[in-house]
Amino acid sequence: MALASTAGVSIHYDIEGPVGAPPLLLLPALGADMTMWEPQLQRWSQDFRVIRCEVRGHGSSSPAGVPEFTIDLLAADALAVLDAAQVPSAHWCGISMGGMIAMRVAVQHPQRVARLVLANTSAHMPPPSLWQSRIDTLRRDGIAGLVSAILERWFTPQFRAAAPEQVEMVRAMLLRVDPASYAAACAAIRDMDQRPDLPRIAAPTLVIGADQDPSTPLPHSEVLCAGIPQASFALLHASHLSNVEAPDAFESTVARFLSGSLAPAAYR
């Protein structure tokens, strides 16, 4: 187990792939650990030095450490992973909250980001009351009562019916998360508004949207594409956790973008 230390907290990460290959940092969704990237790991680790990390209180990382997170704090944790791995610059790929963290680093530390993949994510997710309600529920009842609703947002009904074993694996992953850390991460999303900073993202960026995503529907992708100067867009047929529901399309789309062979496409 590899751990990066930052402000008294240990962030779990692992590395697979050839030494000397282009580094690719993968950032998970809220409530997920690094196992969410298993559908892509075998292929990507042939061509990239794949670094997967986990947010505070998720997977094998230390619990929260503070009552509420900020996107800046989570960005600093991700940079601590690259520092521990002795990687000055990498491609960054994040889904949902992972994309929020990645875009923050791209704004604040552009020299650390080669290419940027923002999948099923947003620069701003109002209203704050929705997130505060989720935080209150977590602190009162834990995460178990929220898991079924999360799975309904993450996967289409068709996928849940066709792939029950995969859905149950994700359910187990969610149940492993520290509820206080999940609530602290919700606070980071509640307070986040990165829309004014999008024009400062200099890295070539791929925005991935999904046509059945109720959590970050296509208008969220449109904001990202309109605000980021070098943004292109890819649409997948999936719900929110698109790398799991459409693994082959996600894998090939990202790999082509990172290699420079994906033709730019505007949002439409």
How confident is the model over 54-64, as a mean pLDDT? Answer: 87
- Residue 129, in any domain of the structure: yes
- Residue 267, in any domain of the structure: no
Query: Which CA distances in Å does 87 have to 66, 79, 150?
Result: 27, 9, 34
| Per-residue pLDDT, 264 | 60
- Residue 188, in any domain of the structure: yes
pLDDT confidence bin for 1, thresholds 50/70/90: low
| Per-residue pLDDT, 2 | 84
State which residues form the domain around 233. Answer: 2-259
Dump pLDDT digits (tens) for 228-268: 999 999 999 999 999 999 999 999 999 999 998 766 665 44
Share of the chain above pLDDT 70, in %: 97
- What does the longest C-alpha to C-alpha distance in the chain come to? 49
How confident is the model over 26-54, as a mean pLDDT? Answer: 97
- Residue 123, in any domain of the structure: yes
Structure tokens at 249: 């399309």
DSSP string, 43-92: HHHHHSEEEEE--TTSTTS---SSSS--HHHHHHHHHHHHHHTT-S-EEE
Residue in 83, 41, 70 with CA at minimum distance from that of residue 247? 41
Dump pLDDT digits (tens) for 6-19: 778 889 999 999 99
CATH code: domain of residue 27: 3.40.50.1820
Share of the chain above pLDDT 90, in %: 88
| Per-residue pLDDT, 268 | 42
- Residue 31, in any domain of the structure: yes
Instruction: Answer whether residue 93 shows pLDDT above 70.
Output: yes
- Residue 81, in any domain of the structure: yes
- Residue 23, in any domain of the structure: yes
Give the separation between CA 151 and CA 98, rounded to whole angstroms: 18
- Residue 92, in any domain of the structure: yes
- Counted domains in the chain: 1
Using DSSP, state whether 3 is helix, strand or coil. strand
How confident is the model over 169-189, as a mean pLDDT? Answer: 95
